[in-house]
Amino acid sequence: MSASNPRRLHLNAFLMNAGHHDAAWRHPRTQPERVTDVRYFQHLARTAERGKLDSIFFADGLTLWGKVEHNALGGFEPLTLLSALATVTEHIGLIATVSTTFNEPFHTARKFASLDHLSGGRAGWNIVTSGTVDEARNFGQDEHLEHSLRYDRAREFVEVATKLWDSWEDDAIVLDRERGIYADPDKVRPIDHRGRHFAVQGPLNVPRSPQGHPLLVQAGSSEDGKEFAAQYAEAVFTAQQTLADGQSFYKDLKNRLARYGRAEADLKILPGICPVVGSTEAEARALEQELTDLQVPEYGLAQLSGMLGTDLTGLPLDGPLPELPEERDINGNKSRFTLVAELARRDGLTLRELIARLGGGRGHRVFAGTPEQIADQLQEWFTQGAADGFNIMPPHLPGGLEDFVDHVVPVLQDRGLFRTEYTGRTLREHYGLPRPAGRLAPSVTAAEGQPS
């Protein structure tokens, strides 16, 4: 990057009901009674936009995650919610998770094209493959698809979706009232896809949207996940605990891009961080301890059992992790399994200590400190080859997002690391990514001057 165009951080706000900490809903600073109140999320979206963040993001699953007895779980379907948020914001990107395992490409392409039009080009799709038996059982299956098969289906799913987005050319709509021609039929074409998993005729019933394609995001860090990201993703949400692990993941993923004809700048890597902000370090650590003290061990143990694919019910909380299976034998989230197992082994944590460490970020890095200390951490990872930006996971809402926007963002701006104003209108422009050309647009033919 030149001095006149310095490299800048990308910041996404990952919003989750009362906050990312599993005990956040019990803290007096949160509003769990509002998790189905659209005005609550509109306030959060406007707060993130006030901070000039690139985007907001909602995760999603096709089951009721965790023990609803002990956490504020459940809530809005994310595309529906983001459509409502599009009407009260102008700039911030709107990213939703949609699974390729329990959806169809036509539905998904249509929904994201609609959101992209509704928002003026701010839609993003976090592509996941769904990895739990509970999700499978909501769709008439007793088991979920094998890990590599889920990614095989995901690859074809994305191929079909992009063909559908490209089934209308940008200038297909003619609007010739005199001749009675609304659209040029030669520029709205079937895709006639026939593959292993899908058969889709097309075209899409939504014209090509402002971004062409929504921003494509991916969040898996397994071998299958990294290879999928290298081929398709434009932003990656990832979880690493240490700078060295972040650097290793960053280098590995960037090095895979060339085999797909892509440059390093074509993919932005955003590790997750759960920032516990205090005006002093002691205040931040006190808030972190307050949240830990509100944890329900039974809930944390169930969450941990799910992450490790091992039933930990009834084990002594002050004892160590039991023997675990190998990663290759895990059919759920392989990368999260390995991260959690290594964290416990590296730091010699008991089950109780591990539950406390995972409470804020479920494996993502948690850091408690002053705004300057948090900015130091972000700057170190950004300048030392571990990140292009960050997936900000406020431990409690709305205050955790407000603290980050009002106190950490200005430090990053003062250091020249983050924008002070939006310079683009679309999510792709925020991330410095090009608008993809439609694949169906005709190239120069022999009749147009090339030798036949």
C-alpha 316 chain-centroid distance: 35
Q: What is the DSSP letter of 447?
A: G
Of the candidates 304, 223, 272, the one whose C-alpha atom is nearest the C-alpha of residue 387 is 272
C-alpha 16 chain-centroid distance: 12
Q: Is 60 annotated as a binding residue?
A: yes
Contacts of 211 (CB under 8 A, 6+ apart): 116, 121, 123, 426, 427, 428, 435
Q: Is 266 annotated as a binding residue?
A: no
Contact 19, 394 (CB under 8 A): yes
Q: Is 182 annotated as a binding residue?
A: no
Q: Strands 55-58 and 173-176: what pairing? A: unpaired
Q: Write the CA distances from 215 to 13, 162, 235, 416, integer angstroms.
A: 15, 11, 8, 25
Q: Strands 389-392 and 10-14: what pairing? A: parallel
Structure token pair of residue 430: 């925020």
First to last CA, the chain: 43
Contact 100, 127 (CB under 8 A): yes
Q: Is 148 annotated as a binding residue?
A: no
d(CA 98, CA 189) in angstroms, rounded, equals 26
Contacts of 329 (CB under 8 A, 6+ apart): none
Considering Cα of 377, then 378, then 381, then 386, what sign does the dihedral take? positive
Structure token pair of residue 254: 């960037």
Q: Is 116 annotated as a binding residue?
A: no
Q: Is 426 annotated as a binding residue?
A: no
Question: b/e per residue, 260-282, with b = 16+ CB within 10 A?
Answer: eebeeebbbbbbbbbbbbbeeee
The helix or strand, by DSSP H or E, that contains position 139, with its residue range, turns out to be none
Residue 398 β-bridge partners:
30
Contact 96, 125 (CB under 8 A): yes
- For 78, counting Cβ atoms within 10 Å of its Cβ (0-12 exposed, 13-18 middle, 19+ buried), the class is buried
Of the candidates 162, 149, 144, the one whose C-alpha atom is nearest the C-alpha of residue 231 is 162
d(CA 219, CA 342) in angstroms, rounded, equals 19
Q: Which residues make up each annotated binding site?
A: 60, 97, 147, 151, 221-222
Q: Which residues make up each annotated binding site for FMN?
A: 60, 97, 147, 151, 221-222
